[in-house]
Every structure is written in C-alpha cells, then in structure tokens.
Chains A and B, each alone.
Chain A
Amino acid sequence: MQTFVILNLSRCIVLKLPTCRSAYYYTFVSRKPVGVLGCPVRDFIPDRYIKRTMKQMGKKKLLLALLLFSGGFILYFVWIQNTFEFPTIVHSLRTAYQTNMKSDPRWTWRCHNERCERHIKKENEKSASLITCNMLCGQPKLWPFPTGSLYVSEDSVTFFYHQISVLYFAKNPVRSLLEQSFAVFNQNVINMVPTTYKTSYKSDIKRFLVVVSVTHPNQNKLTLSTDESYTLAMNMNGDDLVATIKAGTYFGARHGLETLSQLIWWDDHPPEGILRTVKAANIQDAPVFAYRGLMIDTARNFMPVDSLKRTLIGMSMNKLNIFHWHMTDSQSFPFSTPSVPKMAQYGAYGPDMVYTPQDIQELVEFAYHLGIRVVIEIDTPAHAGNGWNWGPEEGLGDLAVCVNEQPWNLYCGEPPCGQLNPLNPNTYEVLEKLYKDIIRLTGETELFHMGGDEVNLDCWGQFLKGINYTDFHDLWGLFTMKALEKLASANGGNLPSNMIFWSSNLSRRPYITRYMDKSKTIIQIWSPSLWSDTYDILADGYRVIMSHVDAWYLDCGFGRWRETGEAACDPYRSWQTMYLHRPWQESMDKNLVVGAEACLWSEQLDAASLDARLWPRTSAFAERVWSDPEKDVKMYTIKESVYTRLTIQRDRLISRGLGAEALWPLWCSQNPGLCL
C-alpha cells in the first residue's frame, strides 16, 4: 500500500491505494483531478487524454508545462522535506451524508419473517448492523431486480479490498474495456471503506477472485440488439471466493460487475467495520427492454459537464443505457461548434455555459465505458429560436422566425418563441452541419433524435411570407423530409437506422404515414397514457418509446413558473407512480415497444437540484424498464421488499456521490415494513 495525494484546485485528497494505477483510476472516477503526487505522470494521465491535450496545446507547450510541473514538485519536496509526514489513512471521499448510513451499538437488527427488526442491543449480544441484516434477509437487495433465475446465499464472508483480483477471459478490444470497468468497480469497493478505521476483523477468505469472460470480443458497440445479459456465480473454492461473470458482450459483463458491486457492502458494525459479501450466488439476468433512457434538458437551464457525468454514473448504477440529451431549445443553444460557431455565440447563456466538441466527446466516452450511449437531440423545427437568430447579419436570411416574439402565447407554448424557417434553404445547410457534428461526436448511427414536437402553425402562418398552404401540417412534413435528406447526406448518404420523433400532430393520422417511414421511425410518446392516437401509431406498425407525461416526467409538480397561465403538468410524480406505471400491460403489441424513457425538462431546475430531482425516482423507473415487475393488479400497491431495496439503492447512490433525495424518515429505513 502506498499513500497518494490527489490534487485538484479545490481540495486535496490523501488516500491509501495499492498502486499508482489505482490512484489514476480514482482520478478517472472523481472529477477534474489535476494530479497525483507520488506517481509517475504517465501512470495517472490516460493515454487518450495525453493525445488529446497534445493536439490541443501542441507538444512543445505540453512539454514545457510538464517540465514546469515536475520542477514545481522538486521545489516543493525541497521546501517541505522536514515537515512532510503522511498520516496513516486520511480519506475524504465520503461526505457528510454518510452519517445517515451508520448504524450504532445501541441498535441491532434481527431477521424475522424476511424482515429486519430493530432491537436495543443487549449487553454481550452478538449484534448485526442494519445493512448486514438487510443484505442477508429476504429478497436479495439488488436494483434493478434480476429477471432470470436467482439465488443469493444468506451467509456472508468478510474480506479486505486488496484481496480482490481479477482474471479476464476476453480478447481485445473488449479486454481493455473490461480493465477499465473493473477498475471503476474496484474503486467503488475501496470507496466503501470510510475515513479512518482500524479493524480487528479477520478476512474469512484468502482471495476474492473475479473472473470475467466475454464471448464476443468484437461486439463493442451498443445497439438495440446488443445482448446485455449476463450470469454471475459466486462460490467458495477452498479458501478463495470466486465470482464468475459470463456475458456475451462487454455491456453484459459491465452489468454483471454492477450487480456484483451491489452484493458487496460495508458492514458498519461498530466499533469497527469490515467489507462483506455473500458467500454464494447464482444470478441470471437480462433486461426486458433494449431502450432504457433518461432525457435531460440542458437548454432551459444549463447543466455543467460535471453534473451530467454524475448523472451518467447514476444511470449506470441502475442499468439505464440511453442518455437522451435534449441539448438545445428556443431558450438557448449551448452547443459550441466550430462548424457553425454563431449558434452558441448567439444562443448560449454565457461563454462558460457551452458544450464544446471536446466536452461532448469526453462525455460520450465516459458514458460508453458505463454502458450508456448518448443520443443528442437538436430539436426542430419548433423549440428553436435563440442561437438561430444570426442569419440576417450574415446574409443568410431568417433561419428562424418569430424568435422571441411577443406576445409569446400567440406563437408558442412557452416563452421565448421561435421556429425554424422551412422556406430558407440556408436553414437546411446549417442543419446538415449540425447533424454531421453530432454523428461525428457521438459515433451514433443507429439512433438519431429529430425532435419534432409542438410545432405552432400560427408562428409560420403569421411570419412566413408568400406561401399559401391550406394545411400547414404539409409544410411541417416537407420540412421533415428535407431535414431527413440533410441527415442522410451528413451520414455519408444513408439515413441512420432509426429516427426518433416526439409524438405530435405530425405523428397522427393522416400525416404520419405520409411523412414517416415506419421501418425507420420510432415515435417517442410523451402524450398522456390515455392518448388514443397511441393505438393508431401501433396499428400503423410504428415502433414506440414510452415517455408518458403523466408518469415519467420528472419535472412536474412545481407549479406554474410564469405569472400567468396553467401549471404545465402538476402534480409531482412520486417514485411509486413512476414504478407502478406499466403502459404496455393493456392490450398493446409489446413487440413494437422499444423501451421507455424518463424525461427531465429544466424550466424549474438547474444543476443545484438536479440530483435530488432525478434520484431515487429514476431508479424506480429503471426497475420498471429493466425488470418490468408484474403489477399487483388487485392492490395497486408496492411490496414492502421494493421499499427496502430502494432505500438501500438510495444509499448506494449517495455513497457514489449523487445527492439522491430521502424517501422517508430514517426511522422507516431502520424499521423495514413499519411505515407502510
């Protein structure tokens, strides 16, 4: 074990880790590290960062910087050589929230009828912490719940994190992906161990061996047909605990590691503590739906890259796999691209509120390792205004009309107004450039989100000159066709495999069949559950993603944010509502349901409350799309075990740095089943 100092500009973190490599992985998991003191530079800066930085700065400048950096370190060591002394273990990973996860000598928990009961500890009683009792009592505490056969032992073993080692049965390129995934897994286990602890506990095992095997090393692109299934077996082999994860693809194996990490916990049993895991397990698991999405809106309010990375971590913990990034809207256009720099210059809220191509690439790569792909939406032709208003100045004419027009309620659903100008050929030229950027940056050619919701025909009717449409829907359809042409040419002549459109008037009969090719179109249905057109869409053979506003809109419930008008979608969707919603239960062709997505619009939200708005409600949603548990039709209630598992999942989210909201008073967590 060595001690490392990890630096970033706001704080220093001192921790004990086995190698420089793990120190680097820590920096990978944490955000914006500047360096690791005591490690060779090559160990902590991943190659790809070096390459990218080289490109950005030029090699000379980088070398100069590195020279200065190491010079600084030498000076620093000379300066402190007499005072420098590392304490045994200092560790600042865990936050103040950890106190809520602690149990105490005064309480002990006993498993009775698959439920942990809290008792006052008697003297000399061998007691158990809440988490250890929970993990070994009743249903396995996995989230989302596995769909296949499942056995988890009710016995546990203690171990130390340095006993973990890994063995891969996988060839490159998957092998190197697995190495990174394992490092993240390993770091998560290390992070469970709190600040200062000494322990008299002994490890029950000699080694904790993780064996990961992937049969298709070349299937390293996540698609709707990717096999995400895995099996996880844990057994004692002599004194060794062996956890074997088998999967067809990297993505399945990653889910397997995620599940394995949920079977490991920090037993905070005072006065010491120890890592524990189950002695044996046999799990088969695969998702019910291929598309398990979360949408974040970064246009109404800007979300810094850090907050999005945190969101991706949360998604990966819940095995969600699509990050739908509603990047732009009429309010702002934060996408700063060299191919059309004017977009962000006119459309961003400020110079520090943009996403550069580097930001996006970094995020896409970060997501990829977590088994998530990024689908960027530049919403058109409506929901586009600021950022599109530089046309006249550049001699390109109006790219958008009714931008910021007042009174807004005549021309759009919420201020500020704006809609692309379908008559201006330059509009499509700009679109093609943006499409090209998105495809290049995300590498995503299977799914492309076209937006396409809430077109206001009066905006076009009033502000477009010299046209005569009896039905402006046809103009909208025409725009869509032209935009798709540009998308095809941006994608090297062929359309991406699937285009996603929001449900709208255009996705209704008769327009849908007129303008949308069912073999390549997916409709994202955000309309209320009872919207009758859903059945038409399905009857016409279109595939759908379910995002029902009345169940899966995470932004609802905060009243009207303007002085006048209606509250858009009150009330708040509780986690129970999100969990119970199961639209495909009723007489619906499930084969056409690609999956579902929870949506977070950001009119009344920015990074300050992002985590609390998302979690743990999105976890509830995630279990619906991964496991799709049977609804108790008679009761319409949620089982006690779901409450207990979700409470534990919330604690996991917090331990990985997400500010997930409280589900109920802590008393209810400490007394499972007694608050229902």
Chain B
Amino acid sequence: MQKICDKMKTILLLLQVFLLFVDGSYNDGTKQWSWICNTSRKCEKVPNAPVHKYFYNRQEKEPLYSLEACRLICGQYGALWPRPTKDVDLSQDLININPSSISFQMLNAIDEARDFLIENTQLFLKNIFLECGKNCSAVNNGLDATVFISISNSNMDLNWSTNESYSLEISKAGGVYVTITAPSAFGARHALETLSQLITSYKIQENGIIHHQFVIVSKAVIKDKPQYPYRGLLLDTARNFLSVHTIKRQINAMASSKLNVLHWHITDSQSFPLESVRVPQLSKYGSYSSKNTYSLSDVSDIIRYAKLRGIRVILEIDAPSHSGNGWQWGREAGLGDLAVCVNQEPWRSYCIQPPCGQLNPINSNVYSVLGDLYSDIVDILPKGETFHMGGDEVFIPCWNSTLEIVNYLDSQGQDRSHESFLALWSYFQQEALKKFDSKVGNENTPIVLWSSALTEPEIIEKYLSKNRYIIETWVPSDNDLPTKLVERGYNIIVATKDAWYLDHGFWGTTEYHNWRKVYQNRILNSPSVLGGEACMWGEYVDDTSIDSKVWPRAAAMAERLWSDPSSSTSAAEARFYRHRERLVARGIQADAVTPRWCYQNEGMCS
C-alpha cells in the first residue's frame, strides 16, 4: 500500500507542477528584501537593493538574497551553534554549490568507524536538504564539492575519554574542497555538523517557478573542541510516557547542538515502562499500559541511534526512592514487600510527590530482583558504560513508618535517628552496587548518583567512594555544593536547578528559565567537573509538547557546555535565533523565542 501511495504522490507532484504552469506565474506578493552584513556585524534588512541571482559575480559587500545567506558570513561565528572554541576564520563570501554533487572521501577510517562516517554523511545530506524546506527544489548549478574526512583512530568507544575535537577547512580550486581532520570518528561527526551549518539555501524565482540555490561559505578554517566532556539532556519517561519516535527526535536535536549524553530517567514511582526479560512483573505492574513500555530491543535501538549521532545513553534506574509502581507484586510472589509505602495516602506523609513508594532495604529479595534487572541492562549497555543509580530524595518518614523496617532497626540495636536511616540507605546503595558489579564482572563501571543527604560534603566520604561515584548536583546556582565536592576530589555533573531544570515555571512557585537564563548559567571550571545537564522532568509534558519545552533552550545550554563563552546573550542572539529556525527545519517543534521581526532585524530589539 505504501508503494502505491508513493507512486500516487509522484503523479500528484507532477500534476501540481503542471498546474503551476497553467496558473501562469507565481505571484510573489511581497517586496523583495535583501540583507547586508553591516559594520556592527549584524545582518541588516535593506529594501529593493539590486542583487545578483547567483553569487558567481557577487562583489563583496553586496547585499544577499536571504537573511540565512547573510548570517553564514556575518560576524566571527557566522551561523554556527555552538560556536567553535579555538580558531574560526570564515570568509566574507559565499559560493554556489550543487547539493546533489557533494562527494565524500574517507581516509584512514576502517570497519565500524568507516560505516559510521558513511552513515553520517547521509545524515549530513539529509540535513542540508531540510534547510530549504518542505518543497525543496534544488537548482543543480554551482560547484561540485568534495569532502575529505580523515581520522587518526578508528576506535569506536564513546566514553569519558573520547576525543571530540576536529578541524575543518573549506577552500576553492575549481571545485569546493572540504577537509575534515579529527582524532576520532566522533570528532569528524561534529565536523560534519559544523559543515551543515556553513551551508544554506535561498529562493530564486525563474519563469514563475521557485527554486532553491545552495550556497556555502567560500573559505573557512575552523579548529574546535568542547570545553566539557559531558553535555547532557535528561528525559523522564516515567511521569509521562514518551514514544520511541519522540526520544529519537530529541536525539536529532541534540546532535544538531553537539550535545553528547542522553540521560534516560526511565523509571520512577509513577510508572515502570522498561520491560525486563528477567523480571517481567516490573513493567507488567508498573507500566501505564502494554503500549507504554520499552522493550530491551527498543532501548538497544535508541542506544544505536544515539551513538550514530555521537551521543551516549546513560540509563538511570532510580533507587531506593522514586520507586513504587512496578514493585508492588512482591508479597503475592512470596518475596515479601519489595517496596514500601507504594501509592500510600495521604501521600504528603510518605513522599514529596504522589504516588509514594520506596524500595525496602531490609528485604534481601529486593537485591536479587535488582540484580536480575541489572543483568538485563548490562546485556544491552555498551561495555563499561556509565550507569546512573539515582539515589535522590529518600523520604525518611516512609521508612520510619514501616513496621518491618523499624523493627529491623530495633533488632540491630539502631535508633530511629537521621543517621541510622542514612546508614540504612548507604547499606542499600552498597548492596545494589555489589549486584551491579557482579553482573558486569568487574568493579570499574563509573556510577552516577544524584546529590542528596548522603552526598553532603561533610559526610559523603563516609558513604560513597570518590573512585566509584560521580555526583550529579542539582542545587541552585548560588549553592556551593559543587565546589565543596570538587574540593574533596569527587567528579561531578552539574544540573543547576534554577537554570537548567526545564520543567520549572509551570508548577508551584518555580520560575521558567528562558534561553537567556539557561545560557548565562556558568558552571564551575575544573577537570573534576565533567559537564552539565538540562533536565526535562516529565510531570507536565508528554509527546505533545516536549519539543517546545526542551528546545531551543537545551541548545542554549549546549553552547555553554561546548564553548563556555564569557560574552552575553546579546552576542549570541542572532546565531541562536538562527539555530532555532534550523531545529524547526529539522522537524523539531522548537518554541519561538522572539517576534520574527527581531530575527529579521538583528540587534534591533535589545
């Protein structure tokens, strides 16, 4: 049926072209505007200036046909997002290229790396065609382009030590030549991403028919590498389910912004959508429905999809708190209570958000079940991949009101003080980690935990080893926890609550952090700070609106983590607005951040 439809579409397309002829000329009702890069390096809208249709004979400083074309060569960083960190030298001129005759030469890449690069060139081509919109009719004139890609190492492990740097050069000699050099295939991928941002198209009208002419910056020298190795986005699929398709769309947008970690908060107390092969009860009792689940092969598929775009997937199974639905079958199965306070009411007494639920740390069956779940996860994770064990917001009144746990503490001669519960929590963490390590077969996997009562700088060393644990801090920007943890030798990831929590502004007294706030959030600069992360908690988003909640704000954070510029948002504004349009062109429903007038009249709205 699909085939027939496709055939049908071709016929219709032809028919439409025909109708255009019948209808006479396309009536372009709007005045022809042009853009010129002015002395303050802003693209300025100018009326009715004479322009050449093609750029072959374009004199420098002549106006350009489209804002997008102007943006490519206006200002030090043109249209690039995130901006490169080392050398950037872009020419002030454009040349026409024929997008249908771009060829690629892979040098040095072998095996998986070679396949990776070949697939990435396809993604690259797809992206540049998206530049010209839905009804793209590319003009096949302009120069041929050849892209040489050379990598020095074909190792395809994507981890903390992956070198993501690259250099890119564009030169013209008969044709257009692009040289990409990178230590790894992942660096080369970023280079292709950059290259896609050095190309755009504009409309030309000939005999009433609209075509799209592609242009590329005529000369460029770029050397680039990220400031932070961890540039993450958290997606929460437990509060509300997100379809695989939606997750992949977020990955596409991440790739466009050179983010490199998808932190997948896959489960929570509300639901458990991950289908475990070894413990099918988890999703059977925990998912919203049989449709709202991820099979292990869905997860593998997403991991593969992400890796092709230079992105790691770090899975989080939050424990011992933030667990409830999915764990309520223990007693029935003769395993005792795996979780306690599940869905208990009034919820305010047992958790900070309904529904309640916390794993039962004194039931040894919990650890066997966790072990089985971890086995499934270890099966699909790339070797040595970092794992997130959650560990936030243990709500002590829940444990403290559970008879089984209170009696256990009694029998151990423990009191019911805060410290006793911290010790219990720490015991849980140790046991869970042991299970995880036994499934992996070694004790080398880096483990991430959220900052919590257990990670208070004064006591953290008592409970969590700095050699094993990376702490993800989620305190506000004025809190010195990151500094103190770094001082004590811990590696950290920073998820600044009052800047990078993308769910804020829609509940309670929280404030929305718009792209400027997101961009301005500078984090501690230290080798122990691995990077940062924007968190899209899922209480108020699902498939319908997640794009506009995450994007383009996560892209603002992407430049912060890739380039860490000291300049303000006004310096980034024109590029950022352009990047938002780019995301939309690539199929992301990114929110608008300004009236279109301000996009078309750079610098006039400050």
Contact = CB atoms under 8 A, between A and B. Distances in A.
A and B, one complex? yes
Interface string B538-565: 1111111101100000000000000000
A46 interface: no
Interface stretch (A243-251, A443-451, A517-525, A659-667): A659-667
Nearest to A345: B31
Contacts of A662: 240, 539-542, 544-545
A612 B590 contact: no
Contact of B29 (A105, A336, A557, A668): A336
A667 B355 contact: yes
B245 interface: yes
Contacts of B345: 674
B333 interface: no
B58 interface: no
Contact of A72 (B11, B30, B270, B547): B11
Interface in A547-592: 557-564, 570-572, 574
B589 A608 contact: yes
Contacts of B593: 561, 604
Contact of B343 (A558, A574, A671): A671
B241 A300 contact: no
Given A57-B23, A609-B591, A674 B511 contact: no
Interface string A69-91: 10010011001100110110010
Contact of B540 (A69, A86, A661): A661
A605 B545 CA distance: 13
Nearest to B599: A349
A96 B543 contact: yes
Contact of B4 (A75, A80, A300, A674): A80
A668 B538 CA distance: 13
A76 B8 contact: yes
B271 interface: yes
A404 to B, nearest CB: 7
Contacts of B15: 65, 68-69, 72
Contacts of B103: none
A386 B595 CA distance: 13
Contact of A61 (B4, B23, B239, B284): B23
Contact of B604 (A80, A302, A415, A675): A415
Nearest to A62: B22
B545 A558 contact: no
A57 B597 contact: no
B596 A301 contact: yes
B18 interface: yes
A301 B592 contact: yes
A609 B542 contact: no
Interface string A646-676: 0000000010000111111111101100110
Nearest to B584: A608
Nearest to A660: B544
A606 B507 CA distance: 23
Contacts of B605: 408, 414-416, 562
A331 B31 CA distance: 16
Nearest to B598: A415
B592 A604 contact: yes
Interface string A479-512: 0000000000000000000000000000000000
A103 B543 CA distance: 17
Contact of A99 (B239, B292, B354, B590): B292
Interface residues of B, number: 83
A560 B29 contact: no
Interface in B5-30: 5, 7-9, 11-13, 15-16, 18-19, 22-23, 28-30
Interface stretch (A7-15, A204-212, A453-461, A623-631): A7-15
A665 B239 contact: yes
B582 to A, nearest CB: 13
B288 A670 contact: yes
B12 A9 contact: yes
Given A558-B514, A570-B512, A665-B539, A5 B597 contact: no
Contacts of B22: 57, 61, 64-65
B30 A345 contact: yes
B315 to A, nearest CB: 20
B512 A100 contact: no
A73 to B, nearest CB: 9
Contacts of A603: 594-595
Interface in A50-68: 57, 61, 64-65, 68
A675 B544 CA distance: 22
A619 to B, nearest CB: 14
A610 to B, nearest CB: 9
Contact of B245 (A96, A574, A675): A96
A345 B29 contact: yes
Interface stretch (B380-388, B395-403, B443-451, B567-575): B567-575
A659 B134 CA distance: 21
Given A76-B7, A654-B544, 16 more contacts: A96-B543, A97-B542, A100-B543, A332-B596, A416-B601, A563-B516, A604-B593, A608-B584, A609-B548, A609-B591, A659-B545, A661-B541, A662-B539, A664-B539, A665-B538, A667-B288
Interface of B: 1-2, 4-5, 7-9, 11-13, 15-16, 18-19, 22-23, 28-31, 134, 238-241, 243, 245-246, 270-271, 284-285, 287-292, 325, 343, 345, 347, 354-355, 505-507, 511-514, 516-517, 538-545, 547-548, 568-570, 573, 584, 589-598, 600-601, 604-606
Those 3 A-B pairs whose CB atoms lie nearest each other, nearest first:
A12-B5, A559-B514, A612-B545
6 contacts: A345-B30, A345-B31, A563-B568, A604-B594, A612-B548, A667-B239
